[in-house]
Structure 1
Amino acid sequence: MSRPVSLTLMSVILGLVAAVGPFAIDMYLPAMPEIGRDLGVDQQAVQWTIVGYFVTFGLAQLAYGPWADQAGRKPPLYAGLALFITGTVICALAPSIGWLIAGRMVQGLGGAANMMVLRAVIRDLATGPQATRMMSTIMIVIAVSPLLAPLSGAGLLALGDWRLIFLALLAAAVASFFLIHFALPETLTDANRQRFDLSGTLAGTRVLLADREFMVMTFLAGFAFASFFVFIASAAFVYRDQFGLTPTQFSFAFAVNAIGFFAASQFASPLSRRLGTLRMIAGATVGFALATFAGFGLALAGLASLPVTMSTLFIGNIFLGVILPTAQVQALEEHGEIAGLASSLGGTMQMVAAGVLVAAAGPFLDGTVTPMLAAIAACGLIALVLSRMIPRQAALA
C-alpha cells in the first residue's frame, strides 16, 4: 500500500475514533427537555450536563499529553475510552440530575484523550501539507457528527426514552476500542519517547508559552472554533423560533452551513502547498472576519432574513474550514519532540478560549438572529487580530 493511501486510511480511523466525543455532545440535545421532565429539574439544571462535559474535557488534556509522550499514544487512548465508557454507564443509569452531571463529567475526562492524542498521532506520521491533509480528512468525519448526531438522538427518542441515547454511545465507545486495538498502530517510537518529570514538563510548557507562533495559532484556532460553538448553541432557537422552521427543515438548514466547513477543509492542503501555510491562514482569516462582519451588519440593518443569514454563515464556514485544520497542525509543526504536551496544552487553551467567549455571549443569546451573528462576528474580529500577530517573515515564507 502506498504511503498516501495509508495516511488516508489512518485519517479515517482516527476520525471515527474522534467522532465519539462530538456524538456525546450533540446526540442527546434533542432529549434535553425530556431529561428535565423525567428527572424533575428545569432547563438550566440540564444545561449543566453540557458545561460539566466541556470543563473536564478541556482540563483533562493537560494530563493526557505528557502521558502520551512518555508511554506512547495507545495507553492514553485505552484509559480515555475506559473513563468514557464508565461515564456513559453512569449517565444511562442516572437516577437524578446530579448523577447525570457526574456521568457527563467522567465522559468528558475520557473523551479528551481521543481529541488530544489524535493530533499527536498526526504529528508522528506527517508534517506540513501532508499533516494538513490528514487533519482535513479527520475534520470531514468529525463534521458529519453535528449533522447525524441530533437526528440519531431524535430517532432513538422515537423508539424509547433518553437513556437509549447513552446506550448507543456506549456501543460506539466499545466499537472505538476495537478500532484502536486492531487498526491503529503505535506511532511513537521508543527512541522518541520522553521520560516524564515535572521539571521537564514545566520546561516544555515554558518553551511553548514563549513560542509566538504556537500561541497565535492555538488561540486563533480556539476563537475561530468558538464561532461554531455559538452557532450550535443558538441555531436551533433562531432557525425554529424566529424563522419558523420545523425540526426537519432546521436539520437541512444546519447541514447547509456545515457543508461549507468540511468541504472547504479538503482544499486546505493543496492551498497550503501553493500559497504557503501561514500566508494561507492569514488570508483565510481575513475572509472569515469579513463574512462574519457582513452577517452582523446586515442583521443590524434589519436585513438578516433566513437566506441572507444562511449565506453569510456558509461563506464564513468555508474560510473556517481552511483555518481550523491548518492552524491546529501549524501549532505543532516545530514541536515534534513534545507533540503530546503541545497538543494537550494547545487543546486546553483552545477549549478554554472558546468556552470563555461562549459563556460571555450566553446572557445575550436570546433566540434571535442579531445576538448570534454579533457573537460570531466577535470571534471573527478576535481571529483577525490574532492573524495580524503571525510573525511577518514566517508568513511571507
Structure 2
Amino acid sequence: MSTETDKVGFYKVAIILGLLSAIGPFAIDMYLPALPKIGQTFMVGIQDVQLSLTAFLIAQGVSQLFYGPISDKVGRKPPLYVGMGIFLLATIGCVYAASLEMLIAFRFLQGIGAAAGIVVARAIVRDLYRGIDATKMMSLLMLVFGVSPILAPLVGSSVIALSGWRTVFVIIAICAALGLILIYFGLNESYSREKREAVPHQGSTLGSYLVLLKDSQYMGIVLASSFALANFFVFLANSPFVLIEHYQLTETQYGLAFGLNAAVFFCSAQMNARLCQKFGIENIIKGGIWVSTLTMATMAFGYLAGLDSLFFFMGLYMIASASVALVIPTTSIMAMENHGHIAGTASALLGTLQIAVGPTFVALLGPYMDSEPLPMILAMTFCSLISLIFVMITLTRKSQLVKAA
C-alpha cells in the first residue's frame, strides 16, 4: 500500500467484502428483536421460534463446505453470484411465509445463500494479502461487518414497531439486491484462471479437506476460534428473551444494548493489526482468550452467588466481547497461513466449524434455556473455557515444534 491508489483499492475491497459477508449476520441481527413477535404471530413458544435461527445457522455452516472448493476451482465471483441470488429469492419467501414451518424453510434457504459471502470473502483476503496487511484487512472487514449488529437491531426494532416483522425481510431483500450490484460492478476476480493453473494440482475436494483435518495446528486454531464464537451464538439465541422478558427492556432498548456490545467488539477488533505488530499474533490470541474466559467465569460466579443485575451482566459481557474481538480475526489469519493454494476450502472448513459449534450448543441446551440469565451465562462460560484449552494446547505445541526445528 505504497501509493494513494493502493490505499483506495485496499479500502474499497474492505468495504465490499465487509458488506457481502455482513449480509448473513444482517439477516440475523435485524430480526432478533422480532423473535417474541414472531412467536405471538404463529402462537408458538421460545424453542419453536429459535428453530428459525438455528435452521439459518446450520444451513450457512454446511453450505460453506461446497462454496469453498468451488471457488478454488472456478474463481471467487461465480459462487458469490449464486449465493446472493439464492439469498434474495429466499428472503422474498420469508416476507410471505404463512406459517412458522414456511418461515423456517425459507430461513434455511437464506442460510445456504448467505454462506457464499462469508467463505469467499476470507478466501479473497488470503488471495490478495499476507501478514500484517491481511490482519489489517480482516480487521477493516470486521469494522464494516460490525455495522450489522450495531445498526440492524435498532433498524429492526423500529421497523417492527412501525409496520411489523415482515417488513424486516423486505429491507433485507433490498440489501441482497445491492450485494449483487456490488459483486458485478465493484469486485475484481482475485483468483483468475491463470492463478489457478499456476498452483500445484489441488486433487479432489475430499483430499483437500483431509489435508486440513490432518493439520493439527489448523484444526486446533479453528476449534479454538469456533468455541470462542459459540459464546456469541449462545448470547445471540437467548439474549432477546433474557433482556426483553427478564430485564423488561423494550425492543428498542434491546437494540441499543445489543448495538453497544457490538460497537465495543468491533472497536476492539480495529486494534488487532497494531497489537499484533507490537506483541505478535500468538500473544494477542492467548491474551484475548484468557481475559474473555476469566471475565465470563467472574460473571458466572456472580450470578451463582445471587447477583442479578443488567449492568453487571452487560458490563462484563462487553469486556468479554472486546477480548474475543482480538481472537477471531487473528485465528482466521493463522489458520489459513499455510494453505494458500486451497484458501477457499480452508476458509470453508473454518467457517463451517465456527458456525456448527454455536448452533449445536444452542440446540442441545435449548430445553434448559429460559428467560433467566444464569443458564445462558453458564453455557457461554463453558464455551470460553473450551476455547482457552484449545488455544493453549495448539500454540504450546507450535512453539515446541519451532524450537525443535
- Whether 2:24 is the aligned partner of 1:9: answer no
- Whether 2:168 is the aligned partner of 1:168: answer no
TM-score w.r.t. the length of structure 1 is 0.93
- Aligned alpha-carbon RMSD (Å): 2.3
Question: Are 1:279 and 1:395, in contact at CA under 8 Å, matched by a contact in 2?
Answer: no
Q: What does residue 239 of structure 1 align with? A: 243
- Displacement of 1:142 in angstroms is 2.0
**Most deviating of 67-76 and 303-312:** 303-312
Instruction: Decide which of 126, 131, 150 is 1:128's aligned counterpart.
Output: 131
- Whether 2:38 is the aligned partner of 1:27: answer no
Where does 1:323-334 land on structure 2 (aligned, <5 Å)? 323-334=327-338
Match of 1:186, SS?
Answer: coil
In structure 2, C-alpha distance between the alignment counterparts of 1:42 and 1:369, rounded to whole Å = 18
Q: What does residue 61 of structure 1 align with? A: 64
Provide Cα deviations, 1:15-38, integer angstroms capped at 9, x if missing partner. 112221111112223333444444
Q: Go from structure 1 to structure 2 and tell me whether the alpha carbon gap of 1:164 and 1:197 turns closer, same or farther (over 3 Å shift).
A: farther
Q: What does residue 51 of structure 2 align with? A: 48
Q: Go from structure 1 to structure 2 and tell me whether the alpha carbon gap of 1:42 and 1:234 turns closer, same or farther (over 3 Å shift).
A: closer
- Displacement of 1:136 in angstroms is 1.1
Unmatched 5+ residue regions in structure 2?
none
Match of 2:179, SS?
Answer: helix
In structure 2, C-alpha distance between the alignment counterparts of 1:236 and 1:154, rounded to whole Å = 11
In structure 2, C-alpha distance between the alignment counterparts of 1:67 and 1:297, rounded to whole Å = 47
Q: What does residue 104 of structure 2 align with? A: 101
- Displacement of 1:255 in angstroms is 2.8
Question: Are 1:11 and 1:137, in contact at CA under 8 Å, matched by a contact in 2?
Answer: yes
Question: Are 1:70 and 1:196, in contact at CA under 8 Å, matched by a contact in 2?
Answer: no
**Most deviating of 205-214 and 334-343:** 205-214
Instruction: Decide which of 202, 217, 221 is 1:217's aligned counterpart.
Output: 221
Where does 1:301-316 land on structure 2 (aligned, <5 Å)? 301-316=305-320
- Whether 2:401 is the aligned partner of 1:361: answer no
Q: Go from structure 1 to structure 2 and tell me whether the alpha carbon gap of 1:335 and 1:49 turns closer, same or farther (over 3 Å shift).
A: same
Letter in 1 for 2:204: G
Match of 1:188, SS?
Answer: coil
Question: Are 1:67 and 1:196, in contact at CA under 8 Å, matched by a contact in 2?
Answer: no
Provide Cα deviations, 1:95-126, integer angstroms capped at 9, x if missing partner. 33332222111111100000110000110111
- Displacement of 1:211 in angstroms is 1.0
Q: Go from structure 1 to structure 2 and tell me whether the alpha carbon gap of 1:291 and 1:210 turns closer, same or farther (over 3 Å shift).
A: same
Match of 1:390, SS?
Answer: helix
In structure 2, C-alpha distance between the alignment counterparts of 1:372 and 1:156, rounded to whole Å = 28
- Displacement of 1:392 in angstroms is 2.9
Question: Are 1:136 and 1:325, in contact at CA under 8 Å, matched by a contact in 2?
Answer: yes
Question: Are 1:281 and 1:323, in contact at CA under 8 Å, matched by a contact in 2?
Answer: yes
- Displacement of 1:229 in angstroms is 1.1
Q: What does residue 77 of structure 2 align with? A: 74
In structure 1, C-alpha distance between the alignment counterparts of 2:142 and 2:174, rounded to whole Å = 22
Match of 1:100, SS?
Answer: helix
The percent of aligned pairs where both chains have the same amino acid is 39
Question: Are 1:87 and 1:103, in contact at CA under 8 Å, matched by a contact in 2?
Answer: yes
In structure 1, C-alpha distance between the alignment counterparts of 2:166 and 2:244, rounded to whole Å = 26
Question: Are 1:52 and 1:104, in contact at CA under 8 Å, matched by a contact in 2?
Answer: yes
Question: Are 1:79 and 1:110, in contact at CA under 8 Å, matched by a contact in 2?
Answer: yes
**Most deviating of 39-48 and 156-165:** 39-48
Question: Are 2:143 and 2:267, in contact at CA under 8 Å, matched by a contact in 1?
Answer: yes
**Most deviating of 224-233 and 43-52:** 43-52
- Whether 2:186 is the aligned partner of 1:183: answer yes
Q: What does residue 339 of structure 1 align with? A: 343
Q: What does residue 318 of structure 1 align with? A: 322
Question: Are 2:154 and 2:259, in contact at CA under 8 Å, matched by a contact in 1?
Answer: no
Provide Cα deviations, 1:239-292, integer angstroms capped at 9, x if missing partner. 333333333333333233222211110111111111221222122211111111
Provide Cα deviations, 1:315-365, integer angstroms capped at 9, x if missing partner. 111111100111112111110000001111111111111222222332332
In structure 1, C-alpha distance between the alignment counterparts of 2:34 and 2:264, rounded to whole Å = 27
